Amino acid sequence: MSARVTVALRVNGRAYERVVESRRLLVDFLRHELQLHGTHVGCEQGVCGACTVLLDGEPVKSCLMLAPQAHGHSITTVEGLAGRGELHAVQQAFRDAHALQCGYCTPGFLLAAVALADHGVALEGAALREELAGNLCRCTGYQNIVEAIERYLRQAAGGRRDG
């Protein structure tokens, strides 16, 4: 029996290959094998969303996914958002709206927001909060988080119309 597997995937556009124990969770793979510490570990049971990353563009909870399940896929983590010295639009929106306090939940919210924008979703208010149900903020700064994401989604939708 082999409890080790080869995991080859792309993270933020870069190819990686590691041989790991099959029980390795994707979040631990990112943090411990690839030293990408931007993806946070909160509840470890699929509730808080701190560990949210994009898998082929879809938001997933990396604490619920085994590393071998991600084999062959493309992952985006918070480290993949900012360009050279420039914040990603969603990061800028968070900064402008003062949408982070301790910042622990922020990477998860950022990626959840990017997934919404990429799907052309431009929600506000209650409907947006419903879409963000999988992300919790322990500092409870939801008002500003929702405002930042509303701004970002409006901007992303505007960009699509203009472009």
Q: Residues in the site for ligand FES, rule: CB under 6 A?
A: 41-44, 46-51, 61, 63, 100-105, 137-139, 141
Nearest to 112 by CA among 84, 85, 136, 141: 136
Interface pick for other proteins out of 90, 93, 99, 115 (rule CB under 8 A): 115
Euclidean distance between CA atoms 77 and 54, whole angstroms: 7
Q: Is 133 in the site for other proteins (CB under 8 A)?
A: yes
| Side chain identity, residue 96 | D
Q: Tell me the closest approach of the beta carbon of residue 85 to other proteins, in angstroms.
A: 30
Ramachandran sector of residue 130 (left: φ over 0; alpha: ψ -120 to 50; beta: rest): alpha
Q: Is 3 in the site for other proteins (CB under 8 A)?
A: yes
Q: Is 61 in the site for other proteins (CB under 8 A)?
A: yes
Crossing angle (nearest 10°) for helices 89-96 and 142-162: 140
User: In angstroms, how far is the first alpha carbon of the chain from the final one?
Assistant: 54
The residue among 42 and 80 lying less far from ligand FES, judged by its C-beta, is 42
Q: Which residues bind other proteins (CB under 8 A)?
A: 1-3, 5, 21-23, 25, 44-46, 49, 52, 55, 58-61, 64-66, 68-69, 71-72, 112, 115, 130-131, 133-134
